[in-house]
Amino acid sequence: MTTKIIMDTDPGIDDAAALTMAINDPSIDLKLVTAVAGNVTVDKTTANALKIIHFFGKDIPVAAGAEQPLIKPFEDAARIHGESGMPGYDFGNDYGQPIKKTAVEALHDAIMAEDEVTLVPTGSYTNIALLFSEYPEVKSHIKRIVAMGGSMSGGNMTSVAEFNVFTDPDAARIMYNSGIPIVMVGLDVTLKALLTKDTIEKLGQMNKTGEMLHALITHYNDGTDEGRPMHDVNTIFYLLHPEAFTTKKMWVDVQTEGPAIGATVGDVRAAYHDGKTNAEVGLDIDADYFNKWFLNEVSKMN
């Protein structure tokens, strides 16, 4: 049985790796990719999504989305992902064009055409917020949202804010208040599931896909001596292997102004929302399993 998903993304090196997994795993049916401004500008994130899909010879529609957050000024992460968003590998210039529909239109049409679909946002949530505001009827067709972003233990943009939420906190608040079941795959797990140096080295010796990922990952200005985080890949890993995660249901609020803007605040005692929850929050992960799974997935790709 396959899981039908739509990815809303901002490639970005780790997004490219997440797309690679989603495109190639037979348990996942990737219906649509929508791009949003985030790691780099939306023209570049759209082109990068097209490059990955073309690399694998797939026919998956890509739609361009929001150029900037709802309210907050746009701040990219080119310092981490390079000016193009995906440096290190030559994908050529013939990788196709996005469809003519906007991301919101494409999301609406794709969601309404399915009985139930899982949304997988791995960039800022601007497209998702615009979709819910313009077409609230789609909510009943969405099974759940598995979103990379947020943190219960400290941020990477400020001491409390993770990048995807920080980029558009107003959109994040709309998404978390949507009433749709959400799995929060945040820094609490992604900073533990580091691709080790050994894993990265093996990628480069594996096959054409491994060579491509190795080239991108070695240009990724994120990580430590212990390895490099593939933040967005953890959403796909969760879909396929939820048993590798430790999670807790709680209510998550998003701060949209002030010095804590972009913070995701969990009601860990269930004390402030009448016991209600709006998210299942990832708190821990089997990092060894993640590395083994990553290599195994790539080893099967031609």
- Check residue 282 and give its pLDDT: 98
- Check residue 79 and give its pLDDT: 78
- Check residue 225 and give its pLDDT: 76
- Check residue 219 and give its pLDDT: 83
Which residues lie across from 117 on neighbouring strands? 142
- Check residue 223 and give its pLDDT: 74
Phi first, then psi: give them for residue 35, nearest 5 degrees: -110, 150
Which residues lie across from 302 on neighbouring strands? none
- Check residue 13 and give its pLDDT: 92
- Check residue 87 and give its pLDDT: 86
- pTM of the shown model: 0.95
- Check residue 259 and give its pLDDT: 96
Each residue's pLDDT tens digit in the chain (302 positions)?
Answer: 899 999 999 998 999 999 999 999 999 999 999 999 988 999 999 999 999 999 999 999 999 999 999 999 998 877 788 777 898 899 988 899 999 999 999 999 999 998 899 999 999 999 999 999 999 999 999 999 999 999 999 999 999 999 999 999 999 999 999 999 999 999 999 999 999 999 999 999 999 999 999 999 988 877 777 899 999 999 999 999 999 999 999 999 999 999 999 999 999 999 999 989 999 999 999 999 999 999 999 999 97
Catalytic positions, written as ranges: 231
Determine contact, residues 73/262, Cβ cutoff 8 Å: no
DSSP string, the chain: -PEEEEEEE--SHHHHHHHHHHHH-TTEEEEEEEE-SSSS-HHHHHHHHHHHHHHTT----EEE--SS-SSSPP---HHHH-SSSSTTS---S------SS-HHHHHHHHHHTSSSEEEEE-S-SHHHHHHHHH-GGGGGGEEEEEEE---SS--SSSSSB-HHHHH-HHHHHHHHTSSS-EEEE-HHHHTTSEEPHHHHHHHTTT-HHHHHHHHHHTT----BTTBEE-TTHHHHHHHH-GGGEEEEEE-EEE--SSTTTTBEEE-TTS-SSTT---EEEEEEE-HHHHHHHHHHHHHT--
State the Cα–Cα distance between residues 285 and 88, nearest whole angstrom: 29
